[in-house]
Chains A and B, each alone.
Chain A
Amino acid sequence: MTLTGWTNSWNLFALTALLLLVLLYLFQRHARRQRTATLFLWDRPEVPPRSGARWHFRRFPLEFYLEALALALLAAAAAGPFFTTREEYPPLAVILDNSFSMRATAGNGETFRTLALPELRRRLEELPGRRIFWFAAGRTPRLLADDRNRFDFERAWTATEDTADLTAALALVRRTVPEAEILVVTDTPPPENLQNVEEIGWISAGQSRPNLAIVNARQGDGRLLAEVVNCSPLPVPARLILTPGNAEHPLMLAPGERRKVVFRLSPEQTASRLQLRLSSEMDVLDFDNERILLPEDETPILVRIQSGLSDTARQDLEAVLNAATGFRQALTAELEVLPPGQPSDAHRLIWHQPVPGRSRPTLTDEPIILSPDHPLTRGLSPDELHWAAVPDIRLPGETLISRGADPVLTALRRLDGKWDFHLNLQPESSNLARRPLWPALFWNLAALLRAERPGAESRNLRSGDLVRLRLPSSKTDSLRLLLPDGTEQLLPARSGRSTFLAPPPGISRIEAENFQEEIAVSPGNPAESDLRRCAPFLRDGMPPANRGRHTVHSWSPLLLLAAILVLALHQILIGKKPEGAR
C-alpha cells in the first residue's frame, strides 16, 4: 500500500506568505494615475474586453509567479511531503515447538497444536505478504522454510521430536534473521529467562493435563526393561502390554511415580520385533505410550588366538573370551589375537611380550591413564591396577591406555579399514586379568567390532540420537531412508559409512546397494511427557506500530532543488538586460 503525507504539516502555514507576497505586489504596484500627452508612444498591451466583466484583474508580472512558485515550493519542502513506494515489515520468524507434547489433547479433544493454529493464523494474516521464516524447535533447531507466500507449515509441523530446545531455536533465529520479529508457538509459557522479553511473541495453547508415558525401554539378555511414569497429580491405574505374547502387566501408579517393569522374553520374542504399549483411561498423549523394539545384532565376534603367546596370556584370554557372551572362538575369525609380526586380514589384537634375554618387563607405580572418549575404554576403571609392561616398546596408533608416559594399549585403523590393537602387557607380573577392567575391556571390544559390521550401530534409538551406519561396500555413496510416514530421503555415505540424525519416531527403513536395515526410533523424554508444566499463554510481542517499516521517500530535497532553480530563473530574469536597453 502506498502512503503519502506530510512530515511537518504545520509548516504548510508558511503558504500564507503567498498572501503577503500578493499584498506586497499590490501595494508596490499600486498605480498612480498620471495624465500624459504621450500615451500613443507607449506600448499598447492586450487588454481583455471589459464587456461583461465587473472586475478587472490586475496582471502580475512573471517575476511574481516565479516568486510565488518558489515560496510554495519552499513551504512544501519545509512541510516534508513523502510517499512510500511500498509498505514493508520486518520478517516474521515463527518457531514451532516440534516436540511430541504438542500432540496432547485438551479437554475438547483438540490437540495443543490445533488449538494454537487459529491464533497463529490470525497473526500471520495481520500483516499479509510479509516474509516469514519457519523454524522447527526440536532437539536441534532447524529452518523449515523462508517463505513469502503460503508455506504449508501444518504439514511440516510434525510434533514428533522428544524435546524442543526453544533457547537454541531463538539463537538460531537471531543468528539467521537478526531483524526478524519472533513468534514462538508452543504449549508452555515463556521460561523464566524469556518472561520479560516482551519483543518475542508467544502463543501457548497448552493445558495442564494428566499423562502417563513409557520413558525408557531396553532389551537384552532375554529381558525387556520398561520404565513408565505417571505425570499427573492423581494415582492412575494402567496396563503395560507386550506383544507378541500379549503379556500384560497391571499398574497403579502414584502421582509422579516412575516405575520399572521387567518382562522376561522367550527366544522367539528375543528374535522378533517387540511392541510395548501403556494403556490408561486418563492418558491424554498417546504418542509416548508405545515403544517398538527391534532385535539387536548380538551375534558373537569370532575370535582366534594365534600361537606365539605366552601360556599366561593365552589362559587369561581364553578365560575372558569364554566368560563374555560377545565372543566365540573359531578358526575363521573376525579378530585374531597374535604376537607382533604376524599378518592377518582380520582385526588384530597384537600382544607385545618381552623377548627372552633382550628386555625385561617392569612394574612401576606410574599412574594408569585411560583415554576418556574412546569406545574401547568406555566405563573402564584403573583402580588398584598393576600393569607390567616392556619399557622399550613403542606402540603405534592412538593411545587408549598409558602407564605414565608410555602407551600400553593403542588402536590403529589399517588402510583396509580393519583395526590393529597393540597391547603391551606382561600378564605374569600384572593383576589386570583379575580386575573388572579386563572383561569390560573385551565387552567394549566386542561392541566396537560389532559396530564394524555392516548395519546400524544400534537399531533402537531415541529421538535426537545419531544413526551410525556402516555399509558393506565402501564404494556406496548414498542410501535411501524410508520414513515412518512413507516419505523417502536420500542420504549421503562416505567410505562405506553414514551418520545422520535419527528420523522421526517409528520404524524407518534404510536401503542401499545389497543392504537393507530397519531402525526403530522412540520418543522417550519424561520432561516432555510431563504436561503439568503446560499452560495457555499469549503475548503480542513487538507492538504492531513498530512493525511497520515504510520505505519513505521524501519530496523535500526535490522541492528544495526546484525552488532553487525557480529562484535562479527569477534572478536571471531580473538581472537580464533587455536587448537594446540602456
Chain B
Amino acid sequence: MNDLFKRTLQTVLARAADTRLAGPRTIGFNGRRLGRRAGNALEFSEYREYRPGDDLRRLDWNVFGRRELLMIKEFSEEVDPRCDLLLDHSRSMAVTPEKSAAAFGLAALLARAALNAGFSLAMLHAADVWRKEPHPESPPDWLATAFDATANPGDGLARYGGTLQRRGLRILISDLLWPEDPQIFLGGFSAGAKQTVLIQILADDELEPVPGDYVMLEDAETGEVRELPIDDAMRHRFRERAARHQEAWRRAAAAHGALLLCFQAGELIPDWDLARLFQAGVLQ
C-alpha cells in the first residue's frame, strides 16, 4: 500500500465516521430494515381493499364499523439490512494511481458507512477470483489492495454471482470498461438485489482520446498492444464509441432500476467531496 493509498484511507475513514449508508427502506422498530413484501411484522404499512382469501383477522373492524368498508391492514415484512460491496480489482482500475486510490478509498468509505448504518456487509474483492473480505470493518487490513486482475467483474459474475446476498443492497465500484453488453451484466448483478448501485470510477479524461498522433496503446488487462496512428477521424470515432458505451450503461441501469454514479478520480481524490453520494441517497 503506497502513500497515496494511506493518505486516501486516512482521509476517507475520517470522513466515514459520521456517514451512514442509506438503505432502500426505513428501519423498522427493532432496528432492522423492512422488507418490501407484506409480512407479520408489527410495522403498519398501508390499508387496502379486501380480496377474497385474505386473512379475516387482518380486517380493520373499526373502519367497517364507521364506514362499512372491508379494509385489510397490511404490515411490512421486517428484513435484515444486507449490503454487498463489490470492488473491481482488475488492472484497468490501476491505469492511474489516482483511479485505484479513489476506487479503494470509496470502497472503504462505503464499507464503513454500511457498517455505521447497521448493514450486514459483504465486502467482495472482484479479482480473477472473487474473495470475501473477512475484515470489512478495517479497510487498512483488507486482504486485497492490489489491482492486478486480468478479469473484469463481468467475467467473474457468472462464476461468483452466487455469493451475492439476496434482497440486499449491491454496490459495484468499477470503471465499467469492458466490451460486453451491460444489460447482460446488470441482468445478473441486480437479480435478487433490493437495490443496485453502480459507482463508476474513471481516470481523468479516460473517455477522451489520448493525445498524440501516434501511440502504442497497451490494454491494461490483456496486455494487448496496438499501434495506432491517431487522426481526427479516429478521435471522433473514439468519442462516439465512448459516448455509446456510457449510454449503454445508463440504459442498462435504468432498465434494471440501478443507480449509476460516475466519478472522475482526479475530482474525488483531493477533498473527497461526497455531495453527489448524498444527493443520490447512497449516503446519509
Q: Which residues of A contact B (CB under 8 A)?
A: 28-45, 47, 58-59, 61, 577-582
Contact = CB atoms under 8 A, between A and B. Distances in A.
B218 A33 contact: yes
A537 to B, nearest CB: 78
A39 B229 contact: no
B226 A44 contact: yes
Contact of B241 (A30, A41, A577, A579): A41
B1 interface: no
Contact of A37 (B216, B220, B236, B241): B220
Interface in B127-179: 175, 177-179
Contacts of A29: 213-214, 229
B175 A37 contact: yes
Contacts of A42: 217, 226, 228, 234, 238, 241
B3 interface: no
A32 B177 CA distance: 22
A41 B221 CA distance: 14
A45 B220 contact: no
B270 to A, nearest CB: 22
Nearest to B228: A42
Given A29-B213, A34-B218, A35-B220, A40 B178 contact: yes
Nearest to B239: A582
A579 B237 CA distance: 11
Interface string B217-249: 111111011111101111111110110010000
A431 B3 CA distance: 158
B95 A35 contact: yes
Given A29-B213, A31-B214, A58-B227, A39 B219 contact: yes
Interface in B188-212: 203, 206-207, 210, 212
Contacts of B63: none
Given A37-B92, A37-B95, A41-B238, A577 B217 contact: no
A41 B226 contact: no
A517 B91 CA distance: 128
B233 A578 contact: yes
Contacts, number: 95
B14 interface: no
B229 A61 contact: yes
Contact of B215 (A32, A59, A61, A580): A32
Given A38-B206, A58-B227, A43 B175 contact: no
A38 B207 contact: yes
A37 B201 CA distance: 12
27 contacts: A28-B213, A29-B213, A29-B214, A30-B214, A31-B216, A31-B227, A32-B216, A33-B218, A35-B217, A35-B220, A36-B206, A36-B217, A36-B219, A37-B92, A37-B175, A38-B238, A39-B226, A40-B219, A41-B238, A42-B217, A42-B228, A43-B234, A59-B229, A577-B232, A578-B232, A581-B235, A582-B236
A36 B218 contact: yes
Contacts of A58: 227
A379 to B, nearest CB: 109
Given A42-B238, A581-B236, A36 B224 contact: no
Given A36-B219, A58-B227, 18 more contacts: A28-B214, A31-B215, A32-B212, A32-B216, A36-B210, A37-B93, A37-B95, A37-B175, A37-B177, A37-B203, A38-B207, A39-B222, A39-B224, A40-B178, A42-B217, A59-B229, A579-B233, A581-B232
Contacts of B229: 29, 59, 61
Contacts of B203: 37
Contacts of A577: 232
B211 to A, nearest CB: 10
A31 B241 CA distance: 23
A58 B212 CA distance: 17
Contacts of B206: 36-38
Contacts of A34: 210, 215-218
Contacts of A59: 229
Contact of A43 (B93, B228, B239): B228
A38 B203 CA distance: 11
| Nearest 7 Cβ contacts at the A-B interface | A37-B92, A578-B233, A31-B216, A29-B214, A39-B219, A581-B232, A40-B179
Contacts of A35: 91, 95, 217-220
A45 B224 CA distance: 13
A61 B214 CA distance: 11
A41 B242 contact: yes
B241 to A, nearest CB: 4
Contacts of A45: 226, 228
